[in-house]
Chains A and B, each alone.
Chain A
Amino acid sequence: MRGLKSAIIVAALALAIPGNSCGPFFTEMIFVQQSAPSNLKDFLDGHIGVVQGALEPRYLALAYRILSGPALTAQEKSSLLAAHENSQDRDAAPGGQPSPDATQQWREERARVAPGVSDVSLGAVRPIPGQQWQDYTNCLSDAFSNAARTLAARARDHASETAELAEWVRGQDAVFSNCSGNGELPQPVSKPLWLVQDRAYQTAAAHFYRSEFGPAQELFRQIAADRNSPLRSLGAFMVGRCLLRQATLSLPDKNDDELLRQAAAEFGQVLEAGGPYAAPAEDLLNFADLRIHPSRAAARLGDRISRPDARIEQHLVDLAYVSRDDRWLSFQQDDRKSDLVDWALTLEGFPIDPKKTQPPNEVFEHARDRWRQTGNVAWLVAALESSPAPDAELARAAAAVQPTSPAWVSVAYARLRMQSAGAAARAAAEDLIRELTARHESPDTVNLFTILARKKAESLPVYARLSPLEPTGADDGEDGFESLSSAITVPTGQRLSTMAGLPVNVQGVKRLDEETARVLNRHLPLKDLVPLVLESTWPRQLRFELAMAVWTRAVLLDRPQEARRLTPALIAGEPGWKPWLAAYDAAARDDERHAVGLLALMRFPSVRPYINAGAGREEGFVTYSTYRDNWWCADMGDFNYSTDHNYGGAYPNPNQPPPIDLPGFLTPAMEAEADREQAQLATVGDAPEYFGEQVLAWVKAHPQDSRNSELLGFALRAMRNGCNLEKSAALKREAFETLHARYAQSEWARKYPTLDTEDQ
């Protein structure tokens, strides 16, 4: 099972871990990765492409910082890249246990300083009180590494006091004996002072790990109040941790908000006081505030991210957490106190004040107002992005954005988007594509401009020329966005499936996005599609697939003249199909042509009257699909349920394809003719049912025809391997009985001795 979205939480207790949904997994081609940059390093270096609201919150926040400045520091970039690498490392199991390095560090230091103290086992995890099936990590990595560091410091400062150092170790052993269950409390000591002070801390810590938060808190408060204790500031910090942990453990079904508020107050004081625990106190303040005052946390995080901060990665994680809160819409007004958060929400299209009716163009006007007020190019980008119509003031400002600005690509895209479709806009788009390519902008950006150029195309040939896109990656449903070479794995010893003699879905292949596929499949008539194939300069495989789709449509619509024109292209792609195609072309009579047409359709399971959007048929031209992606279903490829798990986002309604932009060159006459053809195709239905009905009708009408056993056999095969088989179950039985009753000695009858014989 696989996670539908990840939960990332700042601190120890409540770490939500993505689950996994279930396979098998089918590769989805990604042409423009919208939610995250495909190359984070380039992104951090300012190549942020076209900034749109579909970016994940963390990347939106980074885009704001990159657009607005100050520039990300080298240290910030380094930490962001390291965190990204870590998140990509599937071998790094999410932390449920303290890191082995930390426990080992403690063991080694302990053995070095106090070799005479016998070793003890180290646990870390305790069951949650009152719960039977879940645990929490009680002793975190820092507990062990801090203990090791502190012991090293004490050994350095009190090298000669070996007995006291051994007692220190025994005290710490007692602390850790409470990690996975109630163990011992450290024994009181009376001297020397350093050991007394440390023992007070150890005793408080032991109570903390025993979940005895009242005594622990009181003892930590005493340490915090002890002006002479070197652990004073740590004591104050630990008071907050006592409250925080108690808040997360005390109630059976939720956090205790009042305790969270108290914890936040304590951390706020530590933050205010500054010192070594200010930074971790702020992190835990955010942890608490994200749950009780998410708006306050979001605004604070937005401000932190807006300026250089060594903890930027954690701030981004925390800010993303806000967006998971069900109360999102109700508190975003306060979030907007941070300009960064205001900008991100605006770019995402959220209403400025959710409590009021949203006036038309509110988002755009807010963005424009903020740009006017601040002069910040980030707001110019947001205003252009949301602009409902060309705006002279914005256009002037956009024209002034220099190519060196990280905003330039976004601005260029917005300016182009505003242009009317036609040759001028399309040519301008292609000029920009060349420039973007020369600038080594990301393939996602280049594809985005190519799609826009296609939308501006003035004619079908130009539209078609701009349609093939090289996927920038793939989502195999298991590991999210990956390069094609990573997503497509072929077991050792097996070969990649081929279509038109070329491997399918491999690195460098060009495919069609859903919009283009739907325009070709649904909105163009045969009379335009046939010349499109014949004059196509598409790559061999894609051209073959289009030829096959158009040919299939022609056969199903009984338009032999148009089908015949495509035969050379089909034979060039798949020579093995030639005898079947030639028989169709040579058929002398209409009824004979229908029979050999059925055979040509049924011969290979990849034959279908539409071209695939995104990935090609994974089994290639010849091979049957285990998952019944064979021939076609009644929806004729329109139903694309898989948008659930690709980077296009969640599907709003799996029964309705998302809207598309129809090209401007489509004439009413073309659309009317295409509609008529679609209506006729809609009567065909699922391929297995169609084949079963047509073949049985033929056999009844032509009982002596020598092709009958072959027709029945292929139809049976289709009714075993196609889609929606329950609808053709009765036809399958009839075809089977007919085959065995009339053609018992045929090869096909031997091949299928029982109704449910497995295909090999």
Chain B
Amino acid sequence: MVDRAVLAVALLVASGLRGDGAGPGNAAPDAHSLAGAPPIVLWAWEEPEDLRTADPAHVGVAFLAERVFVGSKVEIVRRHQRILTPGSIWAEAVIRIEATRAFEDNATTRRAAADAVLQAAHLPGIRGVQIDFDATAQQRAFYAEVLRQVRAALPAGEHLEITALVSWCAQPQSWIHALPVDLAVPMNFRLGEHVGAWVVREPLCAGATGISTDEPEGQASALAATPVQKRTVFLFAPLPWTADQLAALNRGNVPHDRRGAR
């Protein structure tokens, strides 16, 4: 069941350690960052989450606010599961976009997808939105236009992020380079045997890294691969966050998660 052990990897490297990862091949460390965010941001997916014991000074939350299915038309499924947080927590809404097999790229679906994102952007108490879309090469024009429309209509003061496949971050002028976003969060987990096998060269990806609680090897290499300064660590857990994990995070440690399916 839950392994209470806590990895020695000090998560608060984001605010404390020196530039251990800013070596050759890494993007300029101050290119993009998430101003005002705590060093750790927890991804809270569509499961009941109780984050009330998280220390807002150390921990923020990026919660799944809605999923947007893009086919010949656009359907929205908003968050159903409870999420409980301290009132002052730094929060942003995550919008997962999924292209169905009936995916159509046209002006209508682009507009509808952007509107769907903007619905979430108007949720109370958030600092911005993060879009999670594993766009294929053929879907990139669609994605770029949706982002452009969202950017144009985003409430003042809200930032716009995307999650990024590590491959999108591996080249200095990758296809995401010109996207109108503040930050791209490379997702350094579920990389199979290729964990640790890349560096960040795209400046958009330099201000954050995404790691998972159940992949200690991935954590170490991801933290090494991303420049430290102004870096926000997004943390994924395979199951809902527990009070013990939150306590560890409040102390600045990444909990090592060994929970698995029955």
Taking beta carbons and an 8 Å cutoff, which residues of A are in contact with B?
1-5, 7, 13-26, 28, 90-91, 93-97, 125, 128, 131-137, 252-253, 323-324, 328, 477-478, 491, 626-629, 639-642, 644-645, 649-650, 652, 654, 723-726, 729, 755-756, 758
Contacts and interface: CB of A to CB of B under 8 A. Distances in A.
A529 B241 CA distance: 49
Contacts of A758: 171-172
B132 interface: yes
B192 interface: yes
B262 A132 contact: no
Given A4-B261, A22-B165, A90-B100, A134 B81 contact: yes
A291 to B, nearest CB: 12
Given A4-B238, A93-B77, A758-B171, A650 B100 contact: no
B167 A21 contact: no
A130 B101 CA distance: 37
Contacts of B65: 133
Nearest to A755: B24
A639 B195 CA distance: 11
Nearest to A646: B192
Interface stretch (B29-37, B42-50, B144-152, B176-184): B42-50
A491 B140 CA distance: 14
Interface residues of B, number: 70
B80 A96 contact: yes
Given A17-B46, A96-B77, A726-B23, A24 B191 contact: yes
B96 A323 contact: no
Interface string B219-248: 000001000000000001011000000000
Contact of B193 (A26, A478, A626, A649): A26
A137 B80 CA distance: 8
Nearest to B45: A19
Interface in B204-220: 210, 212, 214-215, 217
Interface stretch (B8-16, B67-75, B105-113, B153-161): B67-75
Contact of A477 (B25, B78, B192, B198): B192
B129 interface: no
A24 B165 contact: yes
B82 A723 contact: no
Contacts of A4: 238-239, 261
B64 interface: yes
A23 B260 contact: no
Contacts of B79: 133-135
23 contacts: A4-B239, A13-B80, A17-B67, A22-B189, A23-B190, A24-B166, A90-B101, A96-B77, A125-B78, A131-B84, A133-B83, A133-B91, A253-B82, A478-B134, A626-B170, A640-B193, A641-B191, A641-B195, A644-B192, A644-B215, A723-B196, A726-B224, A729-B23
Contacts of B77: 17, 93-97
Given A4-B238, A96-B76, A627 B165 contact: no
B24 A323 contact: no
Given A1-B43, A641-B191, 15 more contacts: A19-B46, A20-B96, A20-B98, A22-B187, A90-B98, A91-B69, A125-B78, A133-B83, A133-B123, A134-B81, A477-B192, A627-B167, A639-B193, A725-B199, A758-B172
Contact of B137 (A134, A491, A729): A491
Contacts of A755: 24
